[in-house]
Amino acid sequence: MNRESPDSYVEPSVDESVTKTKQLIAYIRSFPQPASSSNQEPLVQPILTPRFAISCTDELLSSLGSLSSSDPTLRIQTHISENPKEIAYTKELFPDCPTYASVYDKFHLLRHNTVLAHAVHLEYEEVKLVKERECGISHCPTSNFNISSGVAPIGAYLDRGIKVLSFIVFFGLRTDELRPHSQVGLGTDVSGGFSYSILNTIRDASIAAKVHALSFPAPPATATFAGKPLPIATLLYLATMGGAAVCDLEKQIGSLEPGKSFDALLIDVRNETGNPGLWGVSPEDLVGRSIEERRNLLDGWLERFLFCGDDRNIAKVFVQGRLIGGSTFGR
Protein backbone atom coordinates (compact mmCIF):
# COMPACT_ATOMS: atom_id res chain seq x y z
CA MET A 1 0.00 0.00 0.00
CA ASN A 2 1.55 3.30 -1.03
CA ARG A 3 -1.39 5.68 -1.39
CA GLU A 4 -4.97 6.36 -0.30
CA SER A 5 -4.29 4.81 3.11
CA PRO A 6 -3.60 5.97 6.69
CA ASP A 7 -0.09 7.37 7.06
CA SER A 8 0.90 4.48 9.31
CA TYR A 9 0.04 2.06 6.50
CA VAL A 10 1.70 3.81 3.57
CA GLU A 11 5.05 2.29 2.64
CA PRO A 12 7.85 4.77 1.99
CA SER A 13 8.72 3.53 -1.51
CA VAL A 14 7.94 0.87 -4.06
CA ASP A 15 11.45 -0.60 -3.72
CA GLU A 16 11.11 -0.92 0.06
CA SER A 17 7.64 -2.43 -0.26
CA VAL A 18 8.84 -5.10 -2.69
CA THR A 19 12.01 -5.77 -0.68
CA LYS A 20 10.07 -6.31 2.54
CA THR A 21 7.55 -8.45 0.70
CA LYS A 22 10.32 -10.71 -0.58
CA GLN A 23 11.81 -10.90 2.90
CA LEU A 24 8.48 -11.93 4.40
CA ILE A 25 7.95 -14.59 1.72
CA ALA A 26 11.40 -16.03 2.41
CA TYR A 27 10.81 -15.97 6.16
CA ILE A 28 7.49 -17.82 5.94
CA ARG A 29 8.96 -20.39 3.57
CA SER A 30 11.76 -21.05 6.04
CA PHE A 31 9.27 -22.69 8.42
CA PRO A 32 9.56 -26.48 8.79
CA GLN A 33 8.09 -28.26 5.79
CA PRO A 34 5.95 -31.44 5.67
CA ALA A 35 7.82 -34.74 5.44
CA SER A 36 9.24 -35.41 1.98
CA SER A 37 6.94 -38.42 1.64
CA SER A 38 3.88 -36.22 2.12
CA ASN A 39 2.03 -34.62 -0.76
CA GLN A 40 0.60 -31.96 1.54
CA GLU A 41 1.56 -28.33 1.38
CA PRO A 42 2.76 -26.34 4.41
CA LEU A 43 0.02 -25.16 6.76
CA VAL A 44 1.39 -21.60 6.73
CA GLN A 45 2.19 -20.06 3.36
CA PRO A 46 2.84 -16.57 2.02
CA ILE A 47 0.29 -14.83 -0.18
CA LEU A 48 0.92 -11.69 -2.18
CA THR A 49 -1.55 -9.04 -1.03
CA PRO A 50 -2.02 -5.74 -2.79
CA ARG A 51 -4.60 -4.29 -0.38
CA PHE A 52 -6.69 -3.34 -3.39
CA ALA A 53 -6.11 -1.33 -6.55
CA ILE A 54 -6.95 2.04 -4.99
CA SER A 55 -4.17 1.77 -2.40
CA CYS A 56 -1.47 0.86 -4.93
CA THR A 57 0.14 3.00 -7.62
CA ASP A 58 0.76 1.69 -11.11
CA GLU A 59 4.45 1.33 -10.25
CA LEU A 60 3.75 -0.79 -7.18
CA LEU A 61 1.21 -3.00 -8.97
CA SER A 62 3.68 -3.46 -11.83
CA SER A 63 6.40 -4.53 -9.39
CA LEU A 64 4.04 -6.95 -7.65
CA GLY A 65 3.04 -8.34 -11.02
CA SER A 66 6.69 -8.96 -11.88
CA LEU A 67 7.23 -10.62 -8.51
CA SER A 68 4.24 -12.92 -9.00
CA SER A 69 5.31 -13.77 -12.56
CA SER A 70 8.68 -14.90 -11.26
CA ASP A 71 6.99 -17.36 -8.88
CA PRO A 72 3.88 -19.12 -10.29
CA THR A 73 3.35 -20.97 -6.99
CA LEU A 74 2.89 -17.74 -5.03
CA ARG A 75 -0.78 -17.17 -4.30
CA ILE A 76 -2.34 -13.72 -4.68
CA GLN A 77 -5.23 -12.17 -2.80
CA THR A 78 -6.99 -8.83 -3.07
CA HIS A 79 -10.41 -7.17 -2.97
CA ILE A 80 -12.56 -6.42 -6.00
CA SER A 81 -15.84 -4.61 -6.67
CA GLU A 82 -16.96 -4.39 -3.06
CA ASN A 83 -19.10 -1.29 -3.44
CA PRO A 84 -20.08 1.12 -6.25
CA LYS A 85 -18.07 4.14 -5.02
CA GLU A 86 -14.93 2.01 -4.79
CA ILE A 87 -15.45 0.84 -8.37
CA ALA A 88 -15.97 4.37 -9.66
CA TYR A 89 -12.85 5.66 -7.92
CA THR A 90 -10.79 2.74 -9.21
CA LYS A 91 -11.77 3.64 -12.76
CA GLU A 92 -10.75 7.26 -12.09
CA LEU A 93 -7.32 6.20 -10.86
CA PHE A 94 -6.78 3.81 -13.79
CA PRO A 95 -8.45 5.56 -16.75
CA ASP A 96 -6.87 3.23 -19.29
CA CYS A 97 -8.63 0.21 -17.74
CA PRO A 98 -12.32 -0.27 -18.65
CA THR A 99 -13.14 -2.36 -15.56
CA TYR A 100 -11.89 -3.04 -12.04
CA ALA A 101 -10.80 -6.57 -12.96
CA SER A 102 -8.89 -5.29 -15.97
CA VAL A 103 -6.67 -3.27 -13.61
CA TYR A 104 -5.40 -6.44 -11.96
CA ASP A 105 -5.18 -8.17 -15.32
CA LYS A 106 -3.08 -5.35 -16.75
CA PHE A 107 -0.49 -5.99 -14.05
CA HIS A 108 -0.59 -9.80 -14.43
CA LEU A 109 -2.25 -10.42 -11.06
CA LEU A 110 -5.14 -12.57 -12.29
CA ARG A 111 -4.38 -16.28 -12.54
CA HIS A 112 -5.40 -19.73 -11.29
CA ASN A 113 -4.23 -19.05 -7.71
CA THR A 114 -5.62 -15.53 -7.31
CA VAL A 115 -8.28 -15.03 -4.62
CA LEU A 116 -10.69 -12.15 -5.27
CA ALA A 117 -12.69 -11.16 -2.20
CA HIS A 118 -16.26 -9.85 -2.44
CA ALA A 119 -17.00 -9.47 -6.20
CA VAL A 120 -20.34 -7.93 -5.28
CA HIS A 121 -20.74 -5.79 -8.39
CA LEU A 122 -18.77 -7.48 -11.17
CA GLU A 123 -19.65 -6.42 -14.69
CA TYR A 124 -20.44 -9.01 -17.36
CA GLU A 125 -17.03 -8.66 -19.01
CA GLU A 126 -15.33 -9.04 -15.64
CA VAL A 127 -17.09 -12.33 -14.95
CA LYS A 128 -15.83 -13.60 -18.30
CA LEU A 129 -12.30 -12.43 -17.50
CA VAL A 130 -12.28 -13.98 -14.03
CA LYS A 131 -13.42 -17.29 -15.49
CA GLU A 132 -10.87 -17.11 -18.32
CA ARG A 133 -8.04 -16.45 -15.87
CA GLU A 134 -9.32 -19.23 -13.56
CA CYS A 135 -9.38 -16.94 -10.52
CA GLY A 136 -11.33 -17.74 -7.38
CA ILE A 137 -14.03 -15.64 -5.72
CA SER A 138 -14.22 -15.45 -1.93
CA HIS A 139 -17.82 -14.70 -1.00
CA CYS A 140 -17.91 -12.60 2.20
CA PRO A 141 -21.64 -12.11 2.94
CA THR A 142 -21.27 -11.10 6.60
CA SER A 143 -18.92 -8.28 5.66
CA ASN A 144 -21.05 -7.27 2.69
CA PHE A 145 -24.14 -6.99 4.90
CA ASN A 146 -22.29 -5.27 7.73
CA ILE A 147 -20.86 -2.40 5.70
CA SER A 148 -23.80 -2.23 3.27
CA SER A 149 -21.79 -3.21 0.20
CA GLY A 150 -24.58 -5.15 -1.46
CA VAL A 151 -25.30 -8.79 -2.20
CA ALA A 152 -22.99 -10.76 -4.48
CA PRO A 153 -24.81 -12.82 -7.15
CA ILE A 154 -23.11 -16.06 -6.14
CA GLY A 155 -25.77 -18.17 -7.85
CA ALA A 156 -24.96 -16.51 -11.17
CA TYR A 157 -21.24 -17.15 -10.65
CA LEU A 158 -21.93 -20.82 -9.95
CA ASP A 159 -24.04 -21.04 -13.10
CA ARG A 160 -21.20 -19.51 -15.10
CA GLY A 161 -18.91 -22.27 -13.84
CA ILE A 162 -15.98 -20.10 -12.80
CA LYS A 163 -13.10 -22.57 -13.03
CA VAL A 164 -14.46 -26.03 -13.75
CA LEU A 165 -13.42 -28.69 -11.25
CA SER A 166 -13.74 -32.45 -11.24
CA PHE A 167 -17.03 -33.79 -9.92
CA ILE A 168 -17.06 -34.59 -6.22
CA VAL A 169 -19.62 -36.77 -4.46
CA PHE A 170 -20.32 -35.94 -0.81
CA PHE A 171 -21.56 -38.67 1.48
CA GLY A 172 -25.20 -39.41 0.74
CA LEU A 173 -25.98 -35.87 -0.37
CA ARG A 174 -28.05 -35.58 -3.49
CA THR A 175 -25.57 -34.64 -6.16
CA ASP A 176 -28.25 -32.98 -8.28
CA GLU A 177 -28.19 -30.22 -5.64
CA LEU A 178 -24.41 -29.96 -5.69
CA ARG A 179 -22.53 -28.04 -8.34
CA PRO A 180 -18.85 -28.50 -7.47
CA HIS A 181 -17.47 -27.07 -10.68
CA SER A 182 -16.99 -23.43 -9.78
CA GLN A 183 -14.16 -21.80 -7.91
CA VAL A 184 -16.28 -19.93 -5.38
CA GLY A 185 -15.77 -20.27 -1.64
CA LEU A 186 -16.64 -18.49 1.58
CA GLY A 187 -14.64 -15.79 3.35
CA THR A 188 -15.14 -13.97 6.63
CA ASP A 189 -13.29 -10.67 6.05
CA VAL A 190 -13.34 -9.88 9.77
CA SER A 191 -12.16 -6.34 9.07
CA GLY A 192 -15.51 -5.57 7.50
CA GLY A 193 -17.47 -8.35 9.16
CA PHE A 194 -17.82 -9.28 12.80
CA SER A 195 -17.24 -13.03 12.94
CA TYR A 196 -14.59 -15.48 11.78
CA SER A 197 -16.99 -18.41 12.19
CA ILE A 198 -17.53 -20.31 8.96
CA LEU A 199 -20.90 -21.44 10.34
CA ASN A 200 -21.96 -17.82 10.62
CA THR A 201 -20.73 -17.23 7.08
CA ILE A 202 -22.71 -20.22 5.77
CA ARG A 203 -25.86 -18.81 7.32
CA ASP A 204 -25.27 -15.36 5.90
CA ALA A 205 -24.48 -16.87 2.49
CA SER A 206 -27.87 -18.60 2.61
CA ILE A 207 -29.60 -15.34 3.53
CA ALA A 208 -27.68 -13.44 0.83
CA ALA A 209 -28.85 -15.87 -1.85
CA LYS A 210 -32.44 -15.50 -0.68
CA VAL A 211 -32.19 -11.71 -0.63
CA HIS A 212 -30.71 -11.73 -4.12
CA ALA A 213 -33.49 -14.05 -5.27
CA LEU A 214 -36.01 -11.35 -4.36
CA SER A 215 -34.64 -9.39 -7.31
CA PHE A 216 -35.29 -12.32 -9.63
CA PRO A 217 -38.92 -13.37 -9.17
CA ALA A 218 -38.65 -15.34 -12.42
CA PRO A 219 -35.08 -16.65 -12.80
CA PRO A 220 -33.89 -17.60 -16.30
CA ALA A 221 -35.06 -21.01 -17.45
CA THR A 222 -31.43 -22.09 -17.84
CA ALA A 223 -30.47 -21.04 -14.30
CA THR A 224 -29.54 -23.69 -11.76
CA PHE A 225 -28.63 -21.31 -8.94
CA ALA A 226 -29.15 -17.71 -10.08
CA GLY A 227 -32.21 -16.09 -8.54
CA LYS A 228 -32.79 -19.02 -6.19
CA PRO A 229 -31.92 -19.96 -2.59
CA LEU A 230 -28.76 -22.05 -2.35
CA PRO A 231 -29.38 -25.74 -1.54
CA ILE A 232 -27.83 -27.14 1.64
CA ALA A 233 -25.44 -29.30 -0.36
CA THR A 234 -24.18 -26.26 -2.25
CA LEU A 235 -23.63 -24.35 0.98
CA LEU A 236 -21.60 -27.31 2.22
CA TYR A 237 -19.61 -27.26 -1.01
CA LEU A 238 -18.86 -23.55 -0.71
CA ALA A 239 -17.57 -24.09 2.84
CA THR A 240 -15.39 -27.08 1.93
CA MET A 241 -14.38 -27.95 -1.61
CA GLY A 242 -15.16 -24.47 -2.87
CA GLY A 243 -12.86 -22.88 -0.32
CA ALA A 244 -10.13 -25.38 -1.11
CA ALA A 245 -10.41 -24.60 -4.82
CA VAL A 246 -10.33 -20.85 -4.23
CA CYS A 247 -7.03 -21.34 -2.36
CA ASP A 248 -5.72 -23.63 -5.12
CA LEU A 249 -5.69 -26.52 -2.65
CA GLU A 250 -8.41 -28.76 -4.09
CA LYS A 251 -5.92 -31.58 -4.66
CA GLN A 252 -4.90 -31.56 -0.99
CA ILE A 253 -8.03 -30.69 1.01
CA GLY A 254 -11.74 -29.97 0.73
CA SER A 255 -13.14 -33.49 0.70
CA LEU A 256 -12.40 -36.92 2.16
CA GLU A 257 -11.09 -38.47 -1.03
CA PRO A 258 -8.20 -40.94 -0.79
CA GLY A 259 -4.83 -39.22 -0.91
CA LYS A 260 -6.03 -35.93 0.51
CA SER A 261 -5.16 -34.54 3.89
CA PHE A 262 -7.53 -35.64 6.66
CA ASP A 263 -8.87 -32.22 7.55
CA ALA A 264 -12.21 -32.91 9.19
CA LEU A 265 -14.71 -32.08 11.90
CA LEU A 266 -16.45 -34.73 13.99
CA ILE A 267 -19.92 -33.32 14.59
CA ASP A 268 -22.02 -34.41 17.58
CA VAL A 269 -25.72 -33.54 17.30
CA ARG A 270 -26.89 -35.44 20.38
CA ASN A 271 -28.80 -33.80 23.22
CA GLU A 272 -25.79 -34.40 25.48
CA THR A 273 -23.88 -31.57 23.81
CA GLY A 274 -26.12 -29.08 25.59
CA ASN A 275 -27.11 -27.10 22.51
CA PRO A 276 -30.89 -26.55 22.66
CA GLY A 277 -30.92 -25.64 18.97
CA LEU A 278 -30.40 -29.31 18.11
CA TRP A 279 -32.37 -31.03 20.84
CA GLY A 280 -34.47 -33.91 19.62
CA VAL A 281 -31.79 -35.43 17.37
CA SER A 282 -30.82 -38.98 18.28
CA PRO A 283 -28.55 -41.46 16.47
CA GLU A 284 -31.01 -44.14 17.58
CA ASP A 285 -33.37 -42.75 14.94
CA LEU A 286 -31.19 -44.45 12.30
CA VAL A 287 -31.80 -47.94 13.67
CA GLY A 288 -33.97 -50.09 11.44
CA ARG A 289 -34.24 -47.42 8.73
CA SER A 290 -33.80 -47.94 5.01
CA ILE A 291 -30.89 -46.33 3.18
CA GLU A 292 -33.18 -43.64 1.79
CA GLU A 293 -34.64 -42.92 5.22
CA ARG A 294 -31.14 -42.69 6.74
CA ARG A 295 -30.10 -40.34 3.96
CA ASN A 296 -33.08 -38.09 4.68
CA LEU A 297 -32.30 -38.07 8.39
CA LEU A 298 -28.61 -37.27 7.81
CA ASP A 299 -29.51 -34.50 5.37
CA GLY A 300 -31.80 -33.04 8.01
CA TRP A 301 -29.16 -33.29 10.72
CA LEU A 302 -26.65 -31.54 8.48
CA GLU A 303 -29.08 -28.71 7.83
CA ARG A 304 -29.84 -28.35 11.53
CA PHE A 305 -26.15 -28.25 12.36
CA LEU A 306 -25.38 -25.65 9.71
CA PHE A 307 -28.13 -23.32 10.93
CA CYS A 308 -28.42 -24.14 14.65
CA GLY A 309 -25.10 -25.72 15.58
CA ASP A 310 -22.22 -24.12 17.45
CA ASP A 311 -18.86 -25.03 18.99
CA ARG A 312 -20.56 -27.39 21.44
CA ASN A 313 -21.40 -29.65 18.51
CA ILE A 314 -17.86 -29.72 17.10
CA ALA A 315 -16.51 -32.65 19.08
CA LYS A 316 -13.17 -33.05 17.32
CA VAL A 317 -11.08 -31.02 14.89
CA PHE A 318 -8.50 -32.77 12.71
CA VAL A 319 -5.84 -31.01 10.62
CA GLN A 320 -3.64 -33.17 8.40
CA GLY A 321 -4.68 -36.18 10.44
CA ARG A 322 -3.83 -34.66 13.82
CA LEU A 323 -6.46 -34.07 16.50
CA ILE A 324 -5.96 -30.43 17.46
CA GLY A 325 -9.19 -29.29 19.13
CA GLY A 326 -12.92 -29.62 19.63
CA SER A 327 -15.35 -29.70 22.54
CA THR A 328 -14.06 -33.13 23.64
CA PHE A 329 -10.38 -32.32 23.08
CA GLY A 330 -8.28 -33.32 26.09
CA ARG A 331 -11.00 -35.36 27.70
Q: Does residue 29 carry a pLDDT above 90?
A: yes
- The whole-number pLDDT of residue 36 equals 59
Mean pLDDT across the chain, nearest whole number? 89
pLDDT tens-digit profile of 276-297?
998 888 878 888 999 999 999 9
Distance between CA 52 and CA 80 in Å, rounded?
7
Residues of the chain with CATH 3.20.20.140: 14-246
Q: Say if residue 172's pLDDT is above 90.
A: no
114-135 pLDDT, tens digit each: 999 999 999 999 999 999 999 9
pTM to 2 decimals?
0.89
Q: What confidence score (pLDDT) does residue 286 get?
A: 86
221 confidence band (pLDDT: 50, 70, 90)? confident
Write the CATH number of the domain with boundaries 14-246.
3.20.20.140
**Strand ranges, E, within the chain:** 47-48, 75-80, 114-118, 136-139, 184-186, 264-267, 314-319, 322-325
Position 177 confidence tier, pLDDT thresholds 50, 70, 90: very low
Interval 71-80: pLDDT, tens: 999 999 999 9
Helix, strand or coil for residue 77?
strand
Of 202, 262, 196, the C-alpha closest to 233 is 202
Residue 57's contacts (CB-CB under 8 Å, 6 or more residues apart) are: 2, 3, 14
pLDDT classification of 236: cutoffs 50, 70, 90: very high
